[in-house]
Amino acid sequence: MNQHYYVAIMAGGIGSRFWPMSRTGYPKQFLDILNTGKTLIQSTYDRFSSFIPEENIFVVTSQEYMQIVEQQLPRIKKENILGEPSRKNTAPCIAYISAKLFQKDPKASLIVAPSDHSILDNKEFERVCGEALDFVNNLNAFITLGIKPTYPNTGYGYIQFEPMPVSKDVYKVKTFTEKPNLDLAKTFLASGEFLWNAGIFVWQVKNILAAFEKFLPDMYELFMAQADKLNGPEEANALKEIYPLCTNISIDVGIMEKASNVYLIPSSFGWSDLGTWNSAYENIEKDYFHNAVGGDNVMVIDAVKCMVHVPKNKLVLLQGLEDFIVVDTDDVLMICKKDKEQQIKDYVAEVKRRKGDKYL
């Protein structure tokens, strides 16, 4: 294993589209959404530990989740669990880990990945990551992994790429598009020039810091001015000063869409970002009537194509439903049409308006 290779697993989100199972105090990355026996963050950690030194795997999360990470990942070094004092999107998260790593290892190369994705073919994922690391170690380049779309999904971002590779399996990126409408997504699919944006990035730390200096100079200055504190006892206090001044912006909007040295590797390793209940439905084994059922005591009668997630010990009888999401927890029952899943975030906001934070 290369001692200059690192991973930053981003685990600070609240997973509101997986409500009511995912809650603010215990979000989806810490849950066994797919009924595999492992939580999503545990699967992500195990995936990377097969080819990255474990002492080089970091988790960047919200301060309120640090103890959960420590409980769920007993092998990780405590000092590798990094707590952000507030949620400011992915750019500050990446600036933080990059500034910290550069002090520790100026030769560091970094894979940045979300904690809550599903990847079925871990060997192929390892191969693609190795290819990406090789590429960025020879050039001032940023790699993003693109997934061949199988249908016109409106919940994913899309990446357009040049038709001719610059080297084996690596293509120059032309454009990024955030979550298109259905007509545009169909056009992207038909063109063959667009891939889903997996949100997994690979680069040398020194090069991404240079990009921060160019495209997000205020954020760069905030972190670099206190970089010498980011591996010592003053780290937490430094973050309390830095984060309130950071812009809330994604790495895609802040840097990737502006940089001219962004490349893509088309990838097929059974990826899903598990952003919604429908994406979970697609990744869970189904019964004869195409129902994806989580729960030991679910009886299904004349119901088809439903996503069902209920407590293991609760008897649930489902009759006559088609294309529904049914999620039952100790204090919330949600029954929602699958084609309305993108509105679950809105429903959560309405719950907050009417009922306060009790059910969030």
pLDDT in tens, 41-57: 999 999 999 999 999 99
Per-residue pLDDT for 268 more than 80? yes
Percent of the chain with pLDDT over 70: 100
Task: Tell me the mean pLDDT in the region 122-126.
Answer: 96
The pLDDT, as a whole number, for residue 180 is: 86
Higher pLDDT, 180 or 38: 38
pLDDT bin (cut points 50, 70, 90) of residue 275 is confident
Per-residue pLDDT for 273 more than 90? no
Structural domain that includes position 103: 5-272
Whether residues 245 and 342 share a domain: the answer is no
How do residues 11-37 score in pLDDT, each as one tens digit? Answer: 998 888 899 999 999 999 999 988 888
**Contact predicate 327/20, CB 8 Å:** yes
In a domain, 17, yes or no: yes
Whether residues 160 and 187 share a domain: the answer is yes
Residues belonging to the chain: 360
In a domain, 343, yes or no: yes
Task: Tell me the mean pLDDT in the region 231-259.
Answer: 94
Domain count, the chain: 2
- CATH (domain of 211): 3.90.550.10
Which of 220, 253, 272 lies at the terminal end of a domain, its last residue?
A: 272
The pLDDT, as a whole number, for residue 299 is: 93
Whether residues 283 and 240 share a domain: the answer is no
Higher pLDDT, 92 or 284: 92
**Contact predicate 109/264, CB 8 Å:** no
In a domain, 351, yes or no: yes
The pLDDT, as a whole number, for residue 79 is: 95
Q: For 222-233, give one letter per residue: b (16+ CB within 10 A) or e.
A: bbbebbebbeee
The pLDDT, as a whole number, for residue 241 is: 95
Whether residues 209 and 344 share a domain: the answer is no
Which pTM value belongs to this model? 0.93
Whether residues 50 and 194 share a domain: the answer is yes
How do residues 312-347 score in pLDDT, each as one tens digit? Answer: 889 999 999 999 999 999 999 999 999 998 889 899
The pLDDT, as a whole number, for residue 341 is: 87
Whether residues 150 and 286 share a domain: the answer is no
The pLDDT, as a whole number, for residue 114 is: 95
How do residues 290-318 score in pLDDT, each as one tens digit? Answer: 999 988 899 999 999 999 999 888 999 99
Is 99 buried (19+), middle (13-18) or exposed (0-12) by CB count in 10 A? buried
Per-residue pLDDT for 1 more than 80? no
* Cα–Cα dist 87/94, whole Å: 12
Higher pLDDT, 313 or 5: 5
Two tokens at 196? 């889903």
What's the longest Cα–Cα distance across the chain?
63
**Contact predicate 327/310, CB 8 Å:** yes
Whether residues 267 and 282 share a domain: the answer is no
What distances in angstroms separate CA 40 from CA 57, 273, 310, 341, one per listed residue?
16, 11, 18, 20
* Cα–Cα dist 250/258, whole Å: 12
In a domain, 360, yes or no: no
Which of 272, 293, 314 lies at the terminal end of a domain, its last residue?
A: 272
Which of 224, 242, 272 lies at the terminal end of a domain, its last residue?
A: 272
Whether residues 204 and 334 share a domain: the answer is no
Task: Tell me the mean pLDDT in the region 181-200.
Answer: 90
Whether residues 335 and 231 share a domain: the answer is no
Whether residues 262 and 298 share a domain: the answer is no
The pLDDT, as a whole number, for residue 155 is: 80
Per-residue pLDDT for 282 more than 90? no
Whether residues 90 and 151 share a domain: the answer is yes
Whether residues 308 and 261 share a domain: the answer is no
Please state, rounded to an integer, the average pLDDT across all residues of the chain.
93
